Amino acid sequence: MSSDGDEAGYVRFFPYDEPYDHQRDAMDRIYDALGEGSDVLFEGATGTGKTLAALVPALEYAREEDKTVVITTNVHQQMRQFVHEARAITEQEPIRAVVFRGKGSMCHIDVGYEECQALRDATREIVEKEQDLAELNERESTLLEDSQAGSDEAAEARGAVLEELEGIEDDLEDLRENGNTCDYFYQNLRGNTDEFYQWLFADVRDPDDIYEYAEMEGFCGYELLKEGMEGVDLVVCNYHHLLDPGIREHFFRWLGRDPEDVITVFDEAHNVEDAARDHATRTLTENTLDSALDELAEQDDPAAEAAMNVVRAFRSALIETYDDALGFGDRERIEGNWEDCSIANEDGRDDLTINFLQAYTGPGYDVDLQAALKFGRALDEKYEEAYKNGEASTRQECQTLQAVQFVTAWMDEGTEQGHYPVVSVRRDEAGGDVYGRAELYRCIPQEVTRSLFDELHASVLMSATLRPFEVTEDVLGLDDPETMAYGAQFPEERRRTYAVEAPALFSSERDDPAVQATVTDALEDAIRFTPGNTLAFFPSYSEAERYYDRVQADGEWFLDKPATSATELREAFTDSENGVLFTSLWGTLTEGVSFDDGDARTVVVVGVPYPHLDDRMDAVQEAYDETFGDGGGEWMGTEDAGWAYAVEIPTVRKTRQALGRVVRSPTDFGARVLVDKRYTQVGERELGNYTVRETFPPEERAEMIDIAPEKLKFAMLNFYGDMDAWDGPPPKP
């Protein structure tokens, strides 16, 4: 271990007075693991200082071994926290840090990736021509002087230079007339960027600061960031920079690093599973197929026939598949969200593949697909050249290539384990026709993540809810990582966790009037006996709205709905002194959002938030069962690996995340209320395998106090009385 006397060397990167004891222990273990090239699974309850505990030893090891640290998250608030911590570090021990965000949010002219690439290529070509022109002009001037001094050789050479100058001037005129260039990128290439980089590395700048500075100076800040990333100590970025294989390849090139020279820190790492699955999933809409057919109809090239064969057959098969799947009246009720249709067959290929093979007519779909890929790539290159040459005002995307690449993947991968074929439908935005989408859904995240973790020097994956570690290890494909868990570090007497013996809120019981009455009473008691704001989480938005309408209590009511601005809702709620926020556990307020001190005193979780159990969730369960069942997985807590890995453990993590929204500092206090018998010891005895209590870590179970619904108000009254939380007389039971 690097040391300075008895003090670990990494402490130079710790920006505050002293690490907590548990932080120091975590930093020691992480530093040692990095030295061994081992990955780390790091669970820490709210307030354990996970970010610094991971970042500080990573920066020290990277400084010693000439590596770069990349810290990544999928939560905007966490990225702001990383910027705050990085700024604190650099005030004490200067580091070169870059905060990286996607191009779409930093582009000054709002163009897509393909068009941006073409604009940059054309702009770079102009700059190169201008540089050639300047060099030739200087050469011509020198030769003119020599020829005037009587040199015949200089006069002859000058004639050749003048001829070349005329050609370059003509080329430049043509390029400028095309107009397909970017003024911001031109300024990057021609302007003096030294002051930008001096400003950039004088502190830790967030992307909004960079956008504003670049706009003011006429630069493209995104491209300057890419150019300036080489040799930095720390990069802050989004998940997709690492989890998307295509972006990752570019990202490492911008860093100027091979993967083995990169240390990653994944925050909120319980989300990596779903994020990796999303990045690996491929989709193709009916609209893209229509655009591809229109595109092909305009081609006067016999080579387009192969692409026409496969695209037309796949479109026909897609429509036939969802038409057959929709029952009487189903089409009329479809709205703007994608809805899955069941197409899987137990004994063979899915319905879409069968319909495609029946609709296809040609020499062989595999032969046509290869020819279609070749034609699509050539057509895409044609669009690129047309844009560069000014023959087109925008960089056209090749719809044929997109469609053919997807169909090729569908036919090659659709039957592989962990690849689940899906067809979905929705109504278009104008409320008109229903149209379809084919999706190749990736069930096993480790097919994406294992290669990443194998390539990197090491990774630290941290979250408040990573346990059971064995499941995280299995799902992400980690090999023998170092594991560490640190529970709540704040005084236990300042928090209470009540497991209310209310009926188990199975979906079949939620409409029962007696069940609703019990839940309503428990909610009203929790709200009434909370000296401040109450967060109420439910298994769905519809359940949140149900109790928003039912519950009667004094206070200011807030209802979260899909597509509601979480930031605006949170601000309005925390500005209240006696507010109640009703929301879904599957919404955006369960994690990465702090409700400190008086922002929220009590959090209530109603029910067990199992996800919607549809065909694709069944496919994930089946894939996990095949991969991790029968001894294939590390976790021995259950015989049903598919259910445990895909449903129960993620569900309990979601509940634990919700409970962590309150009691976020040593001086904070609050109550956490679980309203469902499945969280109780009584439920363990009465409900058997339906209980979820055993899935919580042991120290969290130990804090759960079973309580009858009618006793909750007395318990909360006593707890908040002990905290001296009432401004005036407490409410009477």
Q: What is the DSSP letter of 261?
A: G
Are the C-beta atoms of 623 and 418 separated by less than 8 Å? yes
Distance CA 307, CA 401 (A): 9
Q: What is the DSSP letter of 644?
A: I
Are the C-beta atoms of 100 and 223 separated by less than 8 Å? no
Q: Exposed e or buried b for every residue in 408-436, given b needs 16+ CB within 10 A?
A: bebbeebeeebbbbbbbbbbeeeeeebbb
Residue type, 650: P
SS3 368: helix
Q: What is the DSSP letter of 331?
A: H
Are the C-beta atoms of 341 and 325 separated by less than 8 Å? yes
Both tokens of 626, joined, read 């095949």
Which parts of the chain register pLDDT below 70? 1-7, 431, 630-639
* Residue indicated by tokens 């095949």: 626
Residue 617's region, left for phi above 0, alpha for psi from -120 to 50, else beta, is alpha
Sheet holding 495-500, edge to edge: 556-559, 579-584, 534-538, 602-606, 670-675, 495-500, 704-707
At residue 573, the pLDDT reads: 94
Distance CA 360, CA 374 (A): 19
At residue 638, the pLDDT reads: 55
At residue 7, the pLDDT reads: 67
Task: Tell me which long-range contacts 545-550 makes (C-beta under 8 A, separation of at least 24).
Answer: 545/582, 546/516, 547/519, 547/520, 547/523, 547/582, 547/606, 548/582, 550/516, 550/520
Helices (H), 179-270: 183-190, 194-201, 207-217, 221-228, 240-243, 245-255
Residue type, 340: D
Are the C-beta atoms of 423 and 341 separated by less than 8 Å? yes
What pTM value is reported for the model?
Answer: 0.88
- The torsion angles phi and psi of 614, rounded to 5 degrees, stand at -110, -170
Angle at 565 between CA 560 and CA 571, to 5 degrees: 85
- The torsion angles phi and psi of 209, rounded to 5 degrees, stand at -60, -45
Helices (H), 660-732: 681-687, 698-703, 712-722
Find all residues with CB under 8 Å of 257, minimum gap 6, and list them: 67, 68
Count CB atoms within 10 A of the CB of residue 120. 18
Find all residues with CB under 8 Å of 369, minimum gap 6, and list them: 306, 310, 404, 407, 408, 411
Angle at 694 between CA 691 and CA 698, to 5 degrees: 150
Residues across the chain: 733
